[in-house]
């Protein structure tokens, strides 16, 4: 099983509302970047994380999120 955030154990796609970026937790680089941000910036405490229903990249984009890209 792929790693997941403790707060979102069933979610593949998790977005950060401060910069409107969605992370694919099945992508190792994306998950590592998200996990670091969650820990360093207290995104859970600030309520800056978002999940999607359905749990898909298309739904995240429908809500205005852009897919995470390495280096940018």
List, for residues 25-54, the tens digit of each pLDDT value. 999 999 999 999 999 999 999 999 999 999
pLDDT at 20: 98
User: What average pLDDT is seen over the chain?
Assistant: 95
Query: In the predicted model, what is the mean pLDDT of residues 48-69?
Result: 98
Quickly count: other Cβ atoms within 10 Å of residue 14's Cβ: 27
Identify the CA nearest to 8 among candidates 23, 21, 28. Answer: 23
| Section 20-29 average pLDDT | 97
DSSP state of 42: T
36: phi then psi, degrees, rounded to nearest 5: -65, -45
Distance (Å, rounded) from C-alpha 14 to C-alpha 34? 9
């Amino acid at each position: 099983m792929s790693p997941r955030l403790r707060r979102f154990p069933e979610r593949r796609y998790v977005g950060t509302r401060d910069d409107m970026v969605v992370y694919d937790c099945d992508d190792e680089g994306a998950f590592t970047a998200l996990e670091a941000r969650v820990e360093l910036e207290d995104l859970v405490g600030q309520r800056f994380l978002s999940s999607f229903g359905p749990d898909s990249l298309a739904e995240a984009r429908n809500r205005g999120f852009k897919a995470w890209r390495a280096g940018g």
